[in-house]
Amino acid sequence: MKGKEITIYDLAHQLQVSSATVSRALKDDPLISLKTRKRIFEHAEKMGYRTNYFARNLRSQKTHTIGCIVHELQSNFINSVLAGIEKVTAEASYDLLIAHSAESYKKEISNARNLFQKRVDGVIASLSIDTVNLDHFSSFSEKHIPVVFFDRVEKSDKYAAVIIDNYKCGYEATAHLIEQGCKKIVIVTSSLSRNVYAERLRGYKDALFDFGLPYDENLVIINDLSEQAGISAANQILAMKPMPDGAFIANDFVAAVSMRVLKENHVAIPDDIAIVGFNNDVIGKIVEPALTTIHYAGREMGEVAATTIIGHLSGESTIQKINTIIINSAMIIRQSSLKRKRDRPATI
Amino acid sequence: MKGKEITIYDLAHQLQVSSATVSRALKDDPLISLKTRKRIFEHAEKMGYRTNYFARNLRSQKTHTIGCIVHELQSNFINSVLAGIEKVTAEASYDLLIAHSAESYKKEISNARNLFQKRVDGVIASLSIDTVNLDHFSSFSEKHIPVVFFDRVEKSDKYAAVIIDNYKCGYEATAHLIEQGCKKIVIVTSSLSRNVYAERLRGYKDALFDFGLPYDENLVIINDLSEQAGISAANQILAMKPMPDGAFIANDFVAAVSMRVLKENHVAIPDDIAIVGFNNDVIGKIVEPALTTIHYAGREMGEVAATTIIGHLSGESTIQKINTIIINSAMIIRQSSLKRKRDRPATI
DNA sequence: CTGAAAGCGCTAACAT
DNA sequence: ATGTTAGCGCTTTCAG
């Protein structure tokens, strides 16, 4: 069974038709009569024919591959986005090339270069925390290769973006804490060069203002969202006098780590301090008390990003027209933020 | 800048050499004089030349791609394996095609078919929970495409395997619990068709025997390791009379979920029941008390698997010779299993 | 509806 | 050390 690979020439010869006919039939080209198509299909199947994508791509000058750059892989959010992208691209029979920058601008640049070398037909990306500009994507725009950013985006008329309304999320989380009676709310976040964090902070500020609370920049803790960052954020909170009675933390993992440290220091959650996380990670259901968080439809975000790229590639729409798409998000209230134990049941 | 793509012919023409020389120089072939090579390199760089992998692969009949089938993506363990594989394959300038079966035999079959269609040069895989045989890999072995399994493997002389000593891990975990004074130890595990679970159970049994404890099959809880499974396992434990005083749980996530339910039912950990998990997931450091677990070097496992495949492909070694490679693993003792609070400090 | 033929860009024998 | 040449397997005009 080691034998040679079957080609369309073999099939053509065996069926006494031309290779062109086989090629067309295999793509289900209506130009070929249904009868011939069927005959060729069945024969190809029987012979164990597999299309040679290299020959096809070489000839057609398309790779049928979408490149994807993400800043993180150990994240439920990113994984659901990826699942959404995968679903859509697979349906359109595009391949997916996933590169991850591990939150490094330098790596992101080399990821982009790599995808460019691999001649992807389109790019979907979420920016690393320390990315300073979009120059590394210009090789794509120069060759008219479509690029769509998601979640961590940068405004540009050259590329489209799929995001959630981070401002609204920040506002709602803060308002919720205030409604629970919090008067001094810490926000633990990351680089304000990234839209997601900057926007949420803006929402936080506006909520404070609307409810008549003062904004104090000492209550803004900026770090890298690592485990260590969670520990030190908690320690900073513990050191504040008086201690804050609310915290809005940029992701559920950091929130969980902080909660652990706070509890070790005999701080009661939510009574002493109410906590809201972000992302709706599984960990939020494991920690005690269960974590109030913001849920975003990662899967949907991925699907939308992929659909946009593929629509563009098949000439249905143009990325320049679309520019920005906003996906839904919603707060999930659990015990960690419920100071006023009332009728409202915790959502699990 | 939309212009045509540069080819080796363009470079050849511009530099007044033949296309063959350019081709060789670009692969750093020592046949070409260092001077010419350098000249060509620099010119290629300047012109923004990118190699056309389709033409190359079409000609060389190699894809330079390794396919990888995993049963899960939301797992730190799998992610570290993948990182290890990525490192090695990237160094050897192979591409990686990742497919995931989501613990479904059917999907695994279609993943395999897909990778075969894509003509990967080699395959690295970890079996899904319900995989019943290895027939879907026979197309690879027939074409002499090397396959290496890792972690969840099935014995076969056609394929190589990279694993940890699950028997030893099961034995040590159980022995540890016994040393802590446990007399009735539950084991929460999954399908015994998978080597990893069968072997650990064997270790569990032997440890019980060696320490003179009876083996009771009612203490073996088999489920699918989902969140729901963790909840029901805990409920089963709660219903046992007398309640077990030790539990060895197949992964840290399920252990964490079970702990939560147990604690909600006022069971003290480790005093009422000592717990050991598996995999050394981050979650083990978040739960309270911190979880004793078994650490396996996932990254190393990935590196070894990839090195084996690539060694085979470059003709350095043969997979038939190697067959099985065993990677180190070690228990990490934290509070969840320490009934006897003695000198031994908890490892964090 | 089908066929003939050219060529995508690269590699590797074979020749110098 | 470098050049010549013949494809790799497919798609796609152009011609019937």
3-state helix, strand, coil in chain B (%, to 5): 45, 15, 40
Residue in B2, B4, B54, B66 to test binding to A, most A beta-carbons within 10 Å: B54
Which pLDDT belongs to residue B317? 66
Mark yes or no for CB contact A54/B52 under 8 Å: no
Is A288 touching B (CB cutoff 8 A)?
yes
Indicate whether B1 belongs to any domain.
no
How high is the pLDDT of residue B1?
36
The minimal CB distance from B257 to the residues A58, A76, A286 is found for A286
Identity of the residue in A51, A58, A119 whose CB atom sits nearest the CB atom of B58 = A58
B317 touches strand D (CB under 7 A): no
DSSP H or E run through A234: helix A227-239
Residue B155 and residue B302 in one domain: yes
Q: In the predicted model, what is the mean pLDDT of chain A?
A: 91
Residue A57 has its nearest CB partner, among B54, B283, B285, at: B54
Q: What is the pLDDT of residue A341?
A: 59
Amino acid at A332: I
Residue nearest to nucleotide D12 (CA to C1'): A20
Q: Contact B73/A79, CB-based, under 8 Å?
A: yes
CATH code of the domain containing A147: 3.40.50.2300
Nucleotide nearest to B12 (CA to C1'): D3
Q: Are residues B32 and B128 in the same domain?
A: no
Q: Is the pLDDT of residue B2 over 60?
A: no
- Which distant-in-sequence residues (6+ apart) come within 8 Å of B240 by Cβ? B186, B218
Q: Is residue B76 part of a domain?
A: yes
**Domain assignment present for A27:** yes
Residue of A nearest to B58 (CA): A54
A282 and A184 in a common domain = yes
Note the pLDDT of residue A144. 86
pLDDT in tens, B142-164: 888 999 999 999 988 899 999 99
Tally A–B CB contacts below 8 A: 75
Residues from chain B that touch A51, judged by Cβ atoms under 8 A, are 117
Q: How far apart are the CA of A74 and the nearest CA of chain B, in angstroms?
A: 7
Give residue-wise pLDDT tens across range B112-148: 998 998 889 999 999 999 999 999 999 999 888 999 9
* Cβ contacts of B51 on chain A, cutoff 8 Å: 117
Within a domain: A47: yes
Q: Is residue B347 part of a domain?
A: no
Apex B48 CA angle, B45 and B53, nearest 5: 95
User: B231 and B194, same structural domain?
Assistant: yes
> A70 and A29, same structural domain?
no
| A208 and A150 belong to one structural domain | no
Interchain CB distance below 8 Å, B74 and A73: no
Share of chain A above pLDDT 90, in %: 72
B311-331: pLDDT as tens digits: 888 776 666 667 899 999 999
The distance (Å) linking the CA of A5 with the C1' of D4 is 28
Let me know how many helices (H) and strands (E) chain A has, helices first: 14, 12
Q: Is the CB of B58 under 7 A from strand D?
A: yes
- Residue B348 within any structural domain of the chain: no
Find which of B58, B76, B113 to mutate to test the A interface (most A CBs within 10 Å of its CB): B58
Q: How many CB atoms lie within 10 A of CB A200?
A: 27
Among all protein residues, pick the one whose CA is nearest to the C1' atom of C11. B59
Say if the Cβ atoms of B119 and A1 lie within 8 Å.
no
Highest mean pLDDT among A1-10, B227-236, B309-318, B337-346: B227-236
Scanning B25-64 for CB atoms below 8 A from A yields 50-55, 57-58, 63
Fill in the amino acid letter for B81.
V
Q: CA B164, CA B194: separation in Å to the nearest integer?
A: 13
Cβ distance A2 to B144 less than 8 Å, yes or no, reads: yes
CB-contacted nucleotides of strand D (7 Å): 1-5, 7-13
| B249 neighbourhood in chain A, CB within 8 Å | none
Are A64 and A117 contained in the same domain? yes
Q: Are residues B68 and B182 in the same domain?
A: no
Q: Which residues of A touch B260 (CB under 8 A)?
A: 286, 288
What is the predicted pLDDT for the residue at B345?
47
Measure, in angstroms, how far nucleotide D14 C1' is from residue B17 CA: 35
Model confidence at B344, pLDDT cuts 50, 70, 90, reads: very low
- Same domain for B172 and B153, yes or no, is no
Closest-CA distance, A264 to chain B, in angstroms, reads 10
Residue A319 pLDDT class (50, 70, 90 cuts): low
Instruction: List the alpha helices (DSSP H) in chain B.
Output: 8-15, 19-26, 34-47, 53-60, 76-91, 105-117, 138-142, 166-179, 195-210, 227-239, 252-264, 283-286, 298-313, 319-322
> Who wins on pLDDT, B204 or B144?
B204
Is B343 inside any structural domain? no
pLDDT of residue B244: 97
A292 and A187 housed in the same domain: yes
pLDDT value at position A343?
A: 47
Burial of B9 (0-12, 13-18, 19+ CB in 10 A): exposed
Tell me if B260 and A57 make a contact (CB, 8 A cut-off). Answer: no
Looking at the structure, tell me whether residues A158 and A245 fall in a common domain.
Answer: no
Asked which of A295-304, A309-318, B32-41, B70-79 is least confident by mean pLDDT, the reply is A309-318
For residue A327, list its beta bridge partners: A164
**Residue A194 included in any domain:** yes
What distances in angstroms separate CA A325 from CA A19, A294, A319, one per listed residue? 45, 19, 11
C-beta atoms of A79 and B58 within 8 A: no
**CB-count exposure of residue B305 (10 Å: 0-12, 13-18, 19+):** buried
Q: Do A283 and B287 touch (CB under 8 A)?
A: no
Share of residues in chain B with pLDDT > 90 (%): 72
β-strands A246-249, A185-189 pairing: parallel
A58 vs B contacts (CB less than 8 Å): 52, 54-55, 58
Which of B58, B143, B256 comes nearest A52 by C-beta?
B58
A192-241 pLDDT per residue, tens:
999 999 999 999 999 999 999 999 999 999 999 999 999 999 999 999 99
Q: Give yes or no for residue A268 having a pLDDT over 80.
A: yes
What Å value separates CA B28 and C1' D3? Answer: 18
What does the pLDDT average to over A120-146? 93
Shared domain check, B123 and B216: no
Residue nearest the C1' of C3 (CA based)? A18
pLDDT reported for residue A318: 67
**What pLDDT is attached to residue B269?**
96
Domain assignment of residue B24, given as a range? 8-51
What rounded mean pLDDT belongs to chain B?
Answer: 91
Average pLDDT over residues A251-257: 95
Bases of chain C with protein Cβ within 7 A: 1-5, 7-13
CATH code at A19? 1.10.260.40
Considering only residues B254 and B340, tell me which one the structure prediction assigns the higher pLDDT: B254
| pLDDT, position A321 | 66
Q: Give B158 to chain A, closest Cα distance, Å.
A: 15
Residue A143 contacts B, CB cutoff 8 Å: yes
Q: What 3-state DSSP class applies to A149?
A: strand
pLDDT digits (tens, 9 = 90+) for A51-78: 999 999 999 888 889 999 999 887 888 9
Q: C1' nearest to CA of A7: which nucleotide? A: D9
Give yes or no for a contact between B221 and B197, defined as CB atoms under 8 angstroms apart: no
Give the residue whose CA sits closest to D13 at C1': A20
The b-or-e profile of B205-232 (16+ CB within 10 A means b, else e) is bbbbeeeebeeeeebebbbebeeebbeb
Measured distance CA(A21)–CA(A44) in Å, rounded: 13
3-class DSSP state for residue A14?
A: helix
**Distance between CA A41 and CA A43 in Å, rounded?**
5
CA distance B66 to A66: 18
- How many domains is chain A built from? 3
* pLDDT higher than threshold 60 for residue A344: no
pLDDT for A320: 63
Candidates B76, B282, B286, B291: best to mutate against A (most CBs of A within 10 A) is B286
pLDDT of residue B143: 86
Indicate yes or no: CB of A54 within 8 angstroms of CB of B73: no
Residue A3: per-residue pLDDT: 54
